[in-house]
Amino acid sequence: MTVQLANKTALVTGSSRGIGRAIATRLARAGAVTAVHSGTDAGGVAETVRVIEEAGGRAFPVLAELGVPGDVDVLFDGLEAGLKEHADRVGLDILVNNAAVLGTVAPEEVTPGQFDRLMAVNAKAPLFIVQRALPLMPDGGRIVNISTGLTRFANPPEVAHAMSKAALEMITLHFARHLGARGITVNTVAPGVVDTGDLARAEPWLRAALSGLSAFGRLGEPEDISEVVAFLAAPEARWITGAWIDATGGTMLGQDL
């Protein structure tokens, strides 16, 4: 299926690199005017916009740190200003909540401050981003929340991160029901181990071990996730809502845990 998003607009949070960049470039390639967001990585945002524009797409940068007071106001001020300049209307057809922070600390060492930061960025910000986006979103809009396979299988150093992503998944569940009458779909995509660049420097034994977690025997690529998101953003996905989409490449599938 060829995804067609001409005359659509999109916001992808956390899209200066990795999975977010792949999603932003994929939506733009399908025709969406795409807002490329980061908290502080202005260089990464500029690079994503450059890649999109060189491929013939349309995009603009939005910088807004999430998890701090006033974050959603700053984000939408930048979004609306960018839409006025780069699109033919101030409306948002597609919202992808991708921005997140990791925990990676032993369960007994998680601090209240670390936990609060994870919840603020990974759960609280998306909730109020969705709330703020709804007046701009026409009927038939699309919301995609990027979660993690860690809400289904255990990796103890990421317990707090997984808790925050589980909260994000509740946004999917409850808003899908709430927005059904408007034809707005809300879905979760859950990646597994994805090589966003950091793993390129990993020891060969670690790459091999992580690759072995997938049924396909390889690491995920950002584009593997972006294709799933692009489908959910397309008109053809109109009958899918409230879903948790396993995009882990069959991680731990059929293995003894």
- 195-206 pLDDT, tens per residue? 998 876 678 898
Mean pLDDT of all residues in the chain?
A: 95
Residue 232 φ/ψ, nearest 5 degrees: -65, -25
- 71-89 pLDDT, tens per residue? 999 999 999 999 999 999 9
Q: Give the pLDDT mean for 145-170.
A: 96
Domains in the chain: boundaries:
9-247
Does residue 257 have a pLDDT over 50? no
What six digits make up the tokens of 166? 């589980």
- 102-131 pLDDT, tens per residue? 989 999 999 999 999 999 999 999 999 999
pLDDT at position 81 is 98
Say whether 97 sits in a helix, a strand or coil: strand
In whole angstroms, what separates CA 201 from the centre of its chain? 24
Write the CB contacts of 204 (distance below 8 Å, at least 6 apart in sequence).
Answer: none
Does residue 152 have a pLDDT over 70? yes
CB 10, CB 34: distance < 8 Å: yes
Rounded-to-integer distance, Cα 142 and Cα 229, Å: 10
State the architecture of 9-247 in CATH terms: 3-Layer(aba) Sandwich (3.40)
Does residue 240 have a pLDDT over 90? yes
pLDDT band at 173; cut points 50, 70, 90: very high
Closest to 38 in 3D by CA, of 17, 57, 67: 17
Q: Which has more confidence, 137 or 253? A: 137
Does residue 256 have a pLDDT over 70? no
pLDDT at position 177 is 98
